[in-house]
Copies of this chain bind each other. A is one copy, B any other.
Amino acid sequence: MSFFPASLETLIDKFASLPGIGRKSAQRLAFHVLALPDEEARSFADAIVDAKTHVHTCRICQNLTEDEICSICASDRRDKGTICVVSEPRDVLSIERGREYNGTYHVLHGVLSPMNHVGPDDIRIKELLNRIASEDVEEVIMATNPDTEGEATAMYISRLLKPFQLKVTRLAYGIPVGSNLEFADDATLNRAIEGRTEMF
């Protein structure tokens, strides 16, 4: 049953096709867009086309960029000997937010997931291997998510990296800073005990 004009229905459908947006939310968003001034609605539409046209992946690290090489790979203040392997572009943002890490990144654009038919050729592993073969890399930090798929992906890639004889590390597991032992789950607590460090 459709009581909305066709072009409005189409817009609602488009919003509803986005992840995490149900039919009701899509309606609300479409009504909001309809209520925008003409110019703003058009600039929303332009933003979609612009991003789609200008954004592509960095030739080196596969992160999103508008240039051939992203700002991190292009910077001469970053340590090119360390590569932090993450699954998504947003993970780069998370690590950069800490202002601690000074190496470069490699964005896989996914994780291995046999259930979803994502195999090694579907994510940017080949590009990582080419990079390690041609650049002077000392350490690769596996920073995929600490879940089953992220774990398996880190394991898979670390095996591929073995022949290169470089340092391959994994992000530390443990209790989050500022959290409460009471609410930590068993797996995390066990990992925190296993990975305990000497205080002096």
Contact = CB atoms under 8 A, between A and B. Distances in A.
Interface in A1-48: 1, 3-8, 10-11, 13-14, 18-21, 25, 27-34, 36, 38, 41-48
Contacts of A3: 71-72, 92-93, 96
A167 interface: no
Interface string A47-90: 11111111100000000111000011000000000000000111
A11 B50 contact: yes
A41 B14 CA distance: 10
Tally of this chain's copies? 2
A97 interface: yes
A64 B5 contact: yes
Interface of A: 1, 3-8, 10-11, 13-14, 18-21, 25, 27-34, 36, 38, 41-55, 64-66, 71-72, 88-90, 92-93, 96-97
